[in-house]
Amino acid sequence: MPSGTVGRLLLRGLLAGLIAGLVAFVFAYTVGEGPVSDSIAQEQAHSAPAGHHDHGGGAAAAAGAGDAAAHEHEAADAGGEEEELVSRDLQSTAGLATGVLVYGVAVGGIAALAFCFALGRVGRFGPRATAALVAGAAFVTVYFVPFLKYPANPPAVGNPDTIGKRTALFFLMIALSVLIGVAAVILGKRLAPRLGTWNATVAAGLGYAVVMAVLAFVLPPNDDAIPDGFPAALLWDFRLASIGLQVVLWTGFALLFGTLADRALAPAAPAAERAPVAAPAV
C-alpha cells in the first residue's frame, strides 16, 4: 500500500478514534460513573483512617480507558481523612473525558495501521469488513481476554502497595494475547490451502483459546481479594460498565473508520463520467 494512502488512512483512524471516544465518554459518564461513585462511597464508609485502599482501581481499571486515572485520590497525612487533590466533579467530567479521548485517538491510530496491514491479507474482504475484523480482533485480544484473567475492579478494591505488580501483570497479559493472536492469524493463513478457509480459521481460533487458557493458568493471580462486605451487585455493575465502554468504543470505531476507509479507497470515477455533459447546440 502506498505511503500516501497509509497516511490518509492513519488520519481517518485518528479521527474515527476521537469520535468513538466521544461516544464512549458519554457512555462512561452516564453508565459508569454511578458504580464508581458508589464504590468510593463504600470505601469512605469502611476504610481505615490511614487510607489503605487503592482509589485508582489498579491495573485492571486501566482497561476501562482512563477510569483509573480519572478517579485517583491522595491520602492525607495528619488528620487521617482523605483530601482530594482534584474534585470528584472534575474527575468525572474533564478528567474522564481526557482519559477516554486520548485512549480513543491512540487505539484509533494503531488500529488504522493494523487495517493497512490486514487489508487484502486476511481474506477477500472490503474495507468495511476488514475494519470490523480488525476492531473485533483488537477488542478480544487487547481487552476481553486479559479482562478474563485480571478483571477491572472499582476504586475501593486494591492495595496501593501492589499496584506496580498488578499493572505489570495486566500489560504482560495484553502483550501475550496480542502476540498469540498474531501467531494464530499466521497459522490460519498457512493452514487455509490444506484445510479450507473456514476450517483453518476455526483451528487457529481454537489454538489461540487453548494457549491463552494455559497462560492464564500459569500467570499469577491478582492477590488483592475483594473486601468483605463489598456489594457483589456493585462489583458486577462496575465490571459490566467497563466492558460496555470498550464495546461502545470499538463498535463506534469499526463503523466510522470502515466508512471513512471505504470512501478513501474507492476508485476514482472515470474521466468520461466526471466530464460535464455539453449542452445541445441550437
Lowest mean pLDDT among 83-87, 101-105, 187-191: 83-87
Q: What's the pLDDT score for residue 94?
A: 80
Task: Give CA–CA dist 282/276, Å, rounded.
Answer: 18
3-state class (DSSP) for residue 39: helix
Q: Any idea what DSSP says for residue 152?
A: -
Q: Is residue 83's pLDDT more than 80?
A: no
The CA–CA distances, whole Å, from 269 to 82, 245, 261, 279 equal 64, 39, 17, 21
What confidence score (pLDDT) does residue 166 get?
Answer: 82
> Percent of the chain, pLDDT > 90?
41
pLDDT over threshold 80, residue 140: yes
3-class secondary structure, 91 = helix
